[in-house]
Amino acid sequence: MEGELLPTLVIGLIVMLLLGLAFNHFLPLLLNQEKVIPRGSFGWPLAGETLNFLSPHASTSLGSFLEDHISRYGKIFKTHLFCTPTIVSCDQELNHFILQNEEKLFQCSYPKPIHGILGKSSMLVVVGETHRRFRNLALTMVSTTRSRPGYLNDIETTVTRTFRSWKGKGRVNFCEEARKFTFSVIVKQVLGLSQDEPDTARILEDFLTFMKGLISFPLYVQGTPYAKAVKARGRISLTVKAVMEQRRRGNGVGCCSNKKGDFLDVLLSVSNLTEEEKVSFVLDLLLGGYETTSILMSMAVYFLAQSPLALEKIKSEHQNIRANMQKDDYLNLEDYKKMEFTQHVISEALRCGNIVKFVHRKALRDVRFKEHLIPSGWKVLPVLSAVHLNSSLHGGALQFNPWRWEGQNQATCKKFTPFGGGTRLCPGSELAKVETAIFLHHLVLNFRWRMDCEDLPMAYPYVEFPRGLPLQIDQIS
């Protein structure tokens, strides 16, 4: 009996050991299998599905790549983009989860060529503590500019100058006009420079080169748009540095101080950023603040041209605001607050137009979301437009319908994220809306317009009107 017990014990121990090993090794795998990497396809070696993903389509639609993949794999799928395995999310809840978990589970991660062109200190490139410092400054910038007495007046003066230059014209290239306008506004807000100063013209010229490079193939060879853009960035940096230096000297100290208390003064007084970082920050604001806002204005004008009822309604809102004002009075904050329907038009233009289609993130560790596993290190792309164009979230999603925003609280609205979300939420959203509202105020009161030829907003995926939105305009006497 004793002779049988020993081998039985040994066998028992070995079985337990093996079971233990199996438990340790395989149970996590079994558990992981409950959370699986979303379905999808990696496409071609290296290139993956990048070309299909980037193929142009109307920004008011999902595009065939997303439509096809959603119908095959669902709203969350895997693919291979920008040389990296990627999870694409067209799902409202996952998008919200990603944006709200910045720096915890996910991190902003733009492709390397963008770093080359924006610079290593750009807000879209920096993470962690450095990003927090920039972010605080961006929020200070917003509150400083908003509380400056001339805030609305400066914008309105730029609007009226733009319209004065339209006098006698029967046709304008609207995108170009909007770009000039938003550029003048942001240069004034950030650097305190007016439209006629030589520095403004110089920065604008370099910016146009810069923008072309930002969307070009990233090949750093003499003469390519990418190389030209990197050089243009260098020149803009020099101009911005000179403007900062000039202000520093002008400010002086004590009784000679000439401080304006505007954003540039705040920036110069900050001690936790290097000179290079300050210049880079100014560039971020100029870049972030001008192209996107000009496209928003173009969207609003484009949709209003096709929606006579909305145009009638917005016009009567602005006529009512004007009814209590003298001809040359400037708009004040109270007037702005009365522009309720205008805000609905702006929101709807943002929802239908999808100026920023998606943002770039990566998973910092294995993330489990519902039945899905997002592996550590993978790229993660929350597609903002997919939520905006989802008819189960926005009834009749493909229709431009500003009335849908009546009574909705956008601040808590997860299904509307044109400005991103979480700790990377766009700091310029309010400025973009104010500029667009004041511009629309004068536009609807002074002009009738119709499109001169077919044009529509295209996602390349950066959004652009291929023909520049040519308009026939009539001044209302």
Q: In whole angstroms, how close is the CB of 359 to ligand HEM at the nearest point?
A: 4
* Residue of 60, 292, 298, 401 interacting with ligand HEM (CB under 6 A): 292
Helix axes 275-305, 308-323, angle to 10 degrees: 110
Question: What's the min distance (Å) between Cβ of 128 and ligand HEM?
Answer: 12
Q: Does 356 bind ligand HEM (CB under 6 A)?
A: yes
If binding means CB under 6 A, how many residues of this protein chain bind ligand HEM? 24
Cβ distance to ligand HEM smaller for residue 388 or 424: 424
* CA distance linking residue 40 with residue 134, whole number of Å: 37
Q: Applying CB under 6 A, does 119 fall inside the site for ligand HEM? A: no
Two tokens, residue 134: 């920039």
Nearest residue to ligand HEM by CB is: 428
| Radius of gyration (C-alpha) of the chain in whole angstroms | 27
288 binds ligand HEM (CB under 6 A): yes
Q: C-beta of 167: minimal distance to ligand HEM in Å?
A: 28
Residue 368, beta-bridge partner list: 373
Shortest approach of ligand HEM to residue 274 CB, angstroms? 18
8 Å CB contact between 95 and 387:
yes
Question: Rule CB under 6 A: is residue 393 a binding residue for ligand HEM?
Answer: no
Among 137, 264, 355, 459, binds ligand HEM (CB under 6 A): 355
Nearer to ligand HEM, 314 or 373 (CB): 314
Q: For ligand HEM, give the closer residue by CB, 8 or 147.
A: 147
| Binds ligand HEM by CB under 6 A, chosen from 98, 243, 304, 359 | 359
CB of 147 to ligand HEM, least distance (A): 15
Q: Closer CB to ligand HEM, residue 262 or residue 284?
A: 284
Q: Rounded to the nearest whole angstrom, what is the least distance from the CB of residue 321 to ligand HEM in the complex?
A: 23
Closer by beta carbon to ligand HEM, 359 or else 437:
359
Q: Does position 123 bind ligand HEM by CB under 6 A?
A: yes
Q: 290, 298, 292: which is closest to 471 by C-alpha?
A: 298
Please identify, using beta-carbon distances, which residue of 138 and 227 lies nearer to ligand HEM: 138
Q: Within 399-458, which residues bind ligand HEM (CB under 6 A)?
A: 418-420, 424, 426-428, 431-432
Q: Is 461 a binder of ligand HEM (CB under 6 A)?
A: no
Q: How far is the CB of 149 from ligand HEM (least distance, A)?
A: 19
Which residue in this structure is represented by tokens 């962690």? Answer: 128
Give the residue, chosen from 60, 101, 280, 293, that forms a contact with ligand HEM under the rule CB under 6 A.
293
Do the beta carbons of residue 369 and residue 316 sit within 8 Å?
no
Best CA proximity match to 107, nearest among 299, 355, 362, 448 = 362
Minimal distance, residue 285 CB to ligand HEM, in Å: 5
Q: Which is nearer to ligand HEM, 60 or 373 (CB)?
A: 60
CA angle 388, 393, 398 (to 5 degrees): 55
CB of 182 to ligand HEM, least distance (A): 8
User: Residue 372 interacts with ligand HEM (CB under 6 A)?
Assistant: no
Q: How many CB atoms lie within 10 A of CB 446?
A: 15
Distance CA 137, CA 305 (A): 39
Nearest CB to ligand HEM, comparing residues 418 and 461:
418
Burial code (b: 16+ CB inside 10 Å, e: under 16) for 183-203 equals bbbbbbbbbbbebeeebbeeb
Comparison of 426 and 451: residue with beta carbon closer to ligand HEM: 426
Mask for 99-118, x = binds ligand HEM (CB under 6 A): ---------x----------
Please give the annotated binding residues for heme, written as ranges: 426
Contacting residue, 58, 114, 138, 397, with ligand HEM by CB under 6 A: 138
Q: Work out which of 98, 203, 296, 304 binds ligand HEM, going by CB under 6 A.
A: 296
Binding site for ligand HEM (CB under 6 A): 108, 123-124, 135, 138, 284-285, 288-289, 292-293, 296, 355-356, 359, 418-420, 424, 426-428, 431-432
